[in-house]
Amino acid sequence: MDILIYGYGNIGKHIYTELLPTIKNCDAAIHVYDKYENIQFVSDPLCMDLHRGWTTSKFDYVFICVPTEMKNDGSVNTKEVLDCINKYSNSDTLVIKSAVPVGFTDKIANNNNIVVSPEFWGTTQHSKDPDYIILGGYRDYTDKVANLYSYAKDGYYKYHFTDHKTAELVKYMENCWIATKVTFCNEFAEIAKEFGISYPELRELWLADSRVSPSHTYVYPDEPYFNSHCLNKDVPALINFCEKQGIDTPLIKKVLEIRNSKKGF
């Protein structure tokens, strides 16, 4: 079995680590390519040579982990995702881990073998390995990805099956919620300060309620706003593609406005 991880940034490295057990459990070879770091290597059960190149253009699975950066108008640049899809269109199953706008996959011709699988692993101190995966697409292919993960994960790992568009939107819902939560906590930290109340103490009392998740509830006086790569691009992207559909997003717009004001934009 040949697996390609196309893009070896933070997400690509995480996917590589996640899938390493497949090398011994199902005799897989994991190939990695990243044009920015000039990386091309393969790891397999017989030869752990991380510098030996490969020439094949057809794989059993291609995990697309390339950047989808923000354009000047706030929209998503999907060029690298499309380039990868076109380059490896003859592969069996393409798995998009990059964040793409809602409706992106449905606009691609012959998209039956494309699975949208938003990635929720992050690089901050709030991150942890998710115990689940979302697989959006046609069942024949989402089942194939689930089967692959069964060689890497134990029986407690959870699989959530859906369609392309829902899988695309949930990534933006997650990041917009985190951005809103960070904005909310910073606002309460300011309120607490004005009343002479300790925010760490206030936070611990708030978190005593099990309905409140503790992630992303720290505040930093020198950076009182959300400021991570994914949030910075995904919040404007959500606003942008909703506007193109005539959908108003007053809450998310306000969250972005507050962030930009505090950052001095």
**How many Å apart are CA 248 and CA 235, to the nearest integer?**
14
Look at 42-51, 150-159, 201-210, 251-260 and tell me which has the smallest mean pLDDT.
42-51
**Cut 0.75: pTM above it:** yes
Look at 61-65, 126-130, 209-213, 240-244 and tell me which has the smallest mean pLDDT.
126-130
Q: Is the pLDDT of residue 243 over 50?
A: yes
Query: Measured on CA atoms in the order 209, 210, 213, 214, is the torsion positive or negative?
Result: positive
Q: pLDDT per residue over 2-58, tens digit each?
A: 999 999 999 999 999 999 999 999 989 999 999 888 788 887 645 444 445 556 779
SS3 254: helix
* H or E element that contains 110: none
Q: Is the pLDDT of residue 124 over 70?
A: yes
State the pLDDT at residue 53. Answer: 56
**How many Å apart are CA 29 and CA 52, to the nearest integer?**
12
**How many Å apart are CA 86 and CA 20, to the nearest integer?**
26
How far is C-alpha 151 from the geometric centre of its chain's CA atoms? 22
Q: Is the pLDDT of residue 112 over 70?
A: yes
State the pLDDT at residue 50. Answer: 45
* H or E element that contains 44: none
Average pLDDT over residues 131-150: 98
* SS3 of the chain: helix, strand, coil, percent, to 5: 40, 15, 45
Measure Cα distances from 199 to 58, 60, 188, 211, 212 in Å: 54, 51, 8, 19, 16
State the pLDDT at residue 27. Answer: 87
State the pLDDT at residue 51. Answer: 46
> Whose structure tokens read 């893009």?
7
Question: Would you place residue 78 in the very low, low, confident or very high pLDDT band (cuts 50, 70, 90)?
Answer: very high
Q: What is the largest CA-CA distance in the chain?
A: 65
